[in-house]
Amino acid sequence: MKVSIIGAGNVGATCAQVLAYQQIADEVVLLDINEGYAEGKAMDIMQSAHAIGFDTVVKGSTNDYKQTENSDVVVVTSGIPRKPGMTREELISTNVKIVETVIKSTLEHSPNAVLIIVTNPLDTITYAALKLSNLPKNRVIGMGNLLDSSRFKYFLSKKSNLPISELDAIVIGGHGDTTMIPLPNYSKYKGLPIQDFLTQQEIDEVVSETMVGGATLTKLLGTSAWYAPGASAAYMVDAILHDKKKLIPCAVLLEGEYDTNDVVVGVPCVIGKNGWEKIIELDLTDSEKEKFKSSVDAIKEVNAQIPF
């Protein structure tokens, strides 16, 4: 089983590290446009093999897509972050062009791969990737909501002092500070509603903290986070490679589900060897439905700026 990660920055390298440490794949290829960068990251990871005890082979490549040949999954982290003075339109235009090149090059060598998109703005780039690749819709997946849901669990655990590993929580909607929708009504601790452990005010505080979770980390770190995003991408890879049929919130194309059409947005999906295999339609309250509609409208507005 082979995985290629396009973009050997912090998120891509962390994804490779998790895949290797947990021996999720037999081979991981890190590819980057910067000379020697991916090779160095791969070598560094491999030199931890003895201490950690893994047999996964991690290789690095400078822009040689031949090395990614016959990948089962391709994780796309390539792109630039928004810089001071840069408009959203410029960010979208630049990253769509980057992702277009990546997709063309990877599918030339791995036509049967499932694509996991991590590049921002995530919902829009995933939509663009789907259109540019001409792949079946189930083989192009955006990672964002799994990360948002992980952050939701973290803040719930922090507020309630309950173990994070035993909490269930989900975030749907767009992968953005104003478009994501944490769902307290679907938050459980060992099957019990989170309302049994937190007051409404505390839940509201957790929801607010979750929605600015990424921005909080950027402020603390001076850059975007990478441990949780990289681990989230690896988690999705594991579900695909090993056909685990895991229920994972992620960004996929809706065609009638949730009364929505022709937009990529985050919803819970069953993930297995074919990519996303089933969309689960949650029973949302009227308020949640309205928030979801607003999230979709905001994503469509951004999608209108895609340069094709």
What is the rounded distance in angstroms from the CA atom of residue 289 to the CA atom of residue 259? 10
Active-site residue flag, 109:
no
Q: At a CB cut-off of 8 Å and minimum separation 6, what does 172 contact?
A: 145, 180, 181, 183, 249, 265, 266, 267, 268, 282, 292
- Edge-to-edge strands of the sheet including 188-189? 167-168, 188-189, 192-193
| Token digits of residue 184 | 């307290």
What is the rounded distance in angstroms from the CA atom of residue 86 to the CA atom of residue 117? 22
CB contact at 8 A, 99 and 133: no
Amino acid at 246: K
> Residue 29's closest CA among 268, 21, 20?
20
Strand pairing partners for 263? 254
Q: Which of 50, 109, 175, 242 is catalytic?
A: 175
CB contact at 8 A, 128 and 99: yes
HSE toward the beta carbon, residue 189, CA cutoff 13 A: 15
| Distance in angstroms between the alpha carbons of the first and the last residue of the chain | 34
Q: Where do we find the tokens 């601790």?
A: 189
CB contact at 8 A, 127 and 143: no
What is the rounded distance in angstroms from the CA atom of residue 6 to the CA atom of residue 67? 11
Q: What is the DSSP letter of 120?
A: S
Active site residues: 175
